[in-house]
Structure 1
């Protein structure tokens, strides 16, 4: 094993900046690598489960027949299969050989019922969001720790952006040229691992940044409080339509299902003369389904029944829910439960710029655009796993034997352009609050604890 002097001070201002970037890269990696590994593994497994088996019974097969029964007949069979159940949602099959799905709630629990649309026979019932996909999704979303897990993942994703930035700075070609930066140099031992780590990192950097940013848009602080709050569809576009106290997020169940751009937008309310012509005649489940087909909802779409006296019928189709493979066809329509008038018709074109970017970003992030996106996302996940493993190998080969410490890269005692580094740190902290909290926590730990415990400080350096 090659031995490196981890305490040697670098010479020259360029080398000092390089070592400072390396040190931050090292410490950020200590925190980030476990989380990136979890996200890559669960993300890749979710990709293939969704592609092969689908979610929530959406691939339940039936034998096609010439004529199907009414949606109301199917729903009656679904409700009867759940004791004390109340119909909440109908999900139309995307193909003629697939079952219709109904969400039926009872005692606060949501049950999915797969029904043969030709015979109204109940094929199976199961708790909603109870499959392997959803188990992995719960880990991928918040480590099954709720808000605490969400904050941990947001911190890791924010620091991972710093990891990418410092890694690019270190691997950026200066004298060697781009050929060496973009193609691995064959060798032995640590030099080969370093070359592979750098080459994979620079090729994957753009994709990794995309996945980190699109994932952060779902996070509680950066996404929910900073970005999403300023990027919602403006409800005032619904001219003179009464609004409910509930937002679109009220239609979520256990996880986010409503399009990102609509979550914080108020729902319209039933019970007025507002709206445009929709259902002619009595307003029933069947007439609402006929309206959906008449206004362009083809194949798979979702129909949410009204909740409460002011609730509305909601028709929706979006790629995030795997209703389609084209995020630009996202559409949500609200219908008054009493008059059958259309109160709101929100399409992709109505989203804000951030909302449009997120609609496309979610589809790319989740790999719902077809097999090519599943394969592309799998390649990204495998690359992230390689970067995590190779970073550990590089550290293992660099560390001094029996050193009894982490052997972090040395921090230059005299740091040139330190003011710029401070400004960069402040900028990162303001843009990504959880990264700022992490940096301040490390600084406080160093000043208040490690400075008084030299042996512990030495073991961590």
Structure 2
């Protein structure tokens, strides 16, 4: 074998290694830029998630004198409790009744004042006595929830967070590739913290290993959160999994959706019902002269058109108009097996009673018991009865996933979520520390990993972008926008090019 043949063979042997190194640097570069955007959002989401998870415990302690009573004799009728709330808050709109979960708990009525302030009015169920009110809007939970969902800037904030969650998926995939052992050097740091090999090695091990161990959980958090987002969630996944209103049979439908029963950013309605139109009560000539006895306000907005219909379903007080009230509805709820639930009251002449028990509303922790029932406020007919068995596979996953996401499945769930949130903060901060330690001193630059020279690698990256653009539209659009800006502006302005690398 001559020398030239030996040289060609050596080149052939080295070529795959060089390609692997170039691909590694490409993945590292994508990981760097995605992390640059995602890290601050991930820290924010983890901290506000912790605040939301523990806000209920703190507020229960803060308002314990308004939330707990000594059992004393039989419970007064809910209708009488409702009346004392009306007397105490004559100008407010009473939206909802939440029955006591234990004998020591109070009854709660959700009201909205004339000024638009949301309150929980608590009532001693044994004495029909108003104990006080708890704000629904100006709370630690609501503040954390608003930041968590919209950054307090509405739809723009929702889109920015959705983009961060979408890029988070890129981080997970590229991070797993970077961590995956390829040689002895990379295997040395698997599931280990090398304390004696310098700061960069220590932080690299902490970042990579904690990321891999918690990666599956982070993916579940990201996907369940994305399912609420304005584009990927609302326009795609949620829309495809919404409960079909046609299943309600002949029940007349309103022009409002179930999402109207949510209180601001606080989600109470099951995920798959939010976009589904609400049934409405049927008004006959007799009822046109007034609304039902327990309609929560005097608003006469008639959603949709009025029509008579026959609903082939069970009824509460079939054919006895006027006997349907909050007492008979709550008695029917107990008869139907509801234990922990919330009862939404009719808000107009065509409004309905809605009995709802869901993991989304924190009423229950067993998703298989999710159930939403709508009742005509006049005839008492059951207009719809949606159970867990009626959900799509994705909706069932969300019923469980949201409860786990929010730490509602008991103390163990809350403890695990606490560790995960702290781990996500550590991953983000360790990534920042790694960049700080390797950046060139005295140089004004982001100092990303070097770009590959091989055009084939960029073609592969464009395939990834195309797939990403289909799966996560905002992320795909953002990457294409950055590439166009790079070509038109950044690459032509030397200071920008040097800073961004």
CA change 1:213–1:57 in 2 (3 A) is farther
The aligned counterpart of 1:181 is 190
The aligned counterpart of 1:268 is 279
More deviation, 100-109/198-207 = 100-109
Task: Give CA deviations for 1:408-445 in whole Å, capped at 9, x if unaligned.
Answer: 11011124443332111111011111101210221122
Task: Give CA deviations for 1:184-238 in whole Å, capped at 9, x if unaligned.
Answer: 3333311111111111111111111110000000100000001111101122222
8 Å Cα contact 1:273-1:339 kept in structure 2: no
The aligned counterpart of 1:289 is 330
Tell me how far 1:369 sits from its aligned partner.
0.7
For residue 174 of structure 2, the aligned residue among 144, 156, 166 is 166
Task: Give CA deviations for 1:259-292 in whole Å, capped at 9, x if unaligned.
Answer: 1010111111211331423323510111111111
Between the aligned partners of 1:234 and 1:167, the Cα distance in structure 2 is 40
The aligned counterpart of 1:5 is none
SS of the residue aligned with 1:103? Answer: strand
More deviation, 388-397/440-449 = 440-449
Between the aligned partners of 2:32 and 2:401, the Cα distance in structure 1 is 29
Point out which structure has higher relative CO (alpha carbons under 8 A, 6+ apart).
1
CA change 1:275–1:285 in 2 (3 A) is farther
Between the aligned partners of 1:452 and 1:46, the Cα distance in structure 2 is 46
More deviation, 89-98/109-118 = 109-118
More deviation, 43-52/323-332 = 43-52
The aligned counterpart of 2:412 is 372
CA change 1:418–1:165 in 2 (3 A) is same
CA change 1:56–1:433 in 2 (3 A) is farther
Between the aligned partners of 2:136 and 2:144, the Cα distance in structure 1 is 14
Match status 1:132 vs 2:137: no
Counting only pairs closer than 5 Å after superposition, residues 236-385 of structure 1 correspond to structure 2 as 236-255=246-265, 256-271=267-282, 272-280=309-317, 282-298=323-339, 300-385=340-425
SS of the residue aligned with 1:321? Answer: coil
Between the aligned partners of 1:338 and 1:55, the Cα distance in structure 2 is 40
More deviation, 73-82/313-322 = 73-82
TM-score, reference length from structure 2: 0.86
Between the aligned partners of 1:219 and 1:431, the Cα distance in structure 2 is 14
SS of the residue aligned with 1:115? Answer: strand
For residue 96 of structure 2, the aligned residue among 86, 89, 95 is 89
SS of the residue aligned with 1:346? Answer: strand
8 Å Cα contact 1:200-1:387 kept in structure 2: yes
Between the aligned partners of 1:254 and 1:164, the Cα distance in structure 2 is 32
TM-score, reference length from structure 1: 0.94
For residue 393 of structure 1, the aligned residue among 427, 433, 436 is 433
Task: Give the length in aligned residue pairs.
Answer: 451
More deviation, 305-314/157-166 = 305-314
CA change 1:27–1:415 in 2 (3 A) is same
Between the aligned partners of 2:187 and 2:453, the Cα distance in structure 1 is 31
CA change 1:406–1:11 in 2 (3 A) is farther
Tell me how far 1:311 sits from its aligned partner.
1.6
The aligned counterpart of 1:115 is 123
Between the aligned partners of 1:398 and 1:286, the Cα distance in structure 2 is 69
More deviation, 96-105/32-41 = 96-105
SS of the residue aligned with 2:465? Answer: helix
Structure 1: state its 5+ residue gaps: 1-9
8 Å Cα contact 1:233-1:262 kept in structure 2: yes
The aligned counterpart of 2:72 is 65
For residue 236 of structure 2, the aligned residue among 226, 232, 237 is 226
The aligned counterpart of 2:5 is none
More deviation, 289-298/120-129 = 120-129
For residue 14 of structure 1, the aligned residue among 11, 17, 20 is 20
8 Å Cα contact 1:78-1:104 kept in structure 2: no
CA change 1:178–1:334 in 2 (3 A) is farther
Structure 2: state its 5+ residue gaps: 1-15, 283-308
Between the aligned partners of 1:84 and 1:258, the Cα distance in structure 2 is 26
The aligned counterpart of 2:292 is none
Between the aligned partners of 2:239 and 2:376, the Cα distance in structure 1 is 27
The aligned counterpart of 1:6 is none
The aligned counterpart of 2:34 is 28
Between the aligned partners of 2:252 and 2:160, the Cα distance in structure 1 is 39
For residue 156 of structure 1, the aligned residue among 161, 164, 169 is 164
Between the aligned partners of 1:237 and 1:230, the Cα distance in structure 2 is 15
Q: CA RMSD in A?
A: 2.0
Between the aligned partners of 1:170 and 1:216, the Cα distance in structure 2 is 25
CA change 1:156–1:55 in 2 (3 A) is farther
More deviation, 171-180/220-229 = 171-180
Between the aligned partners of 2:194 and 2:223, the Cα distance in structure 1 is 31
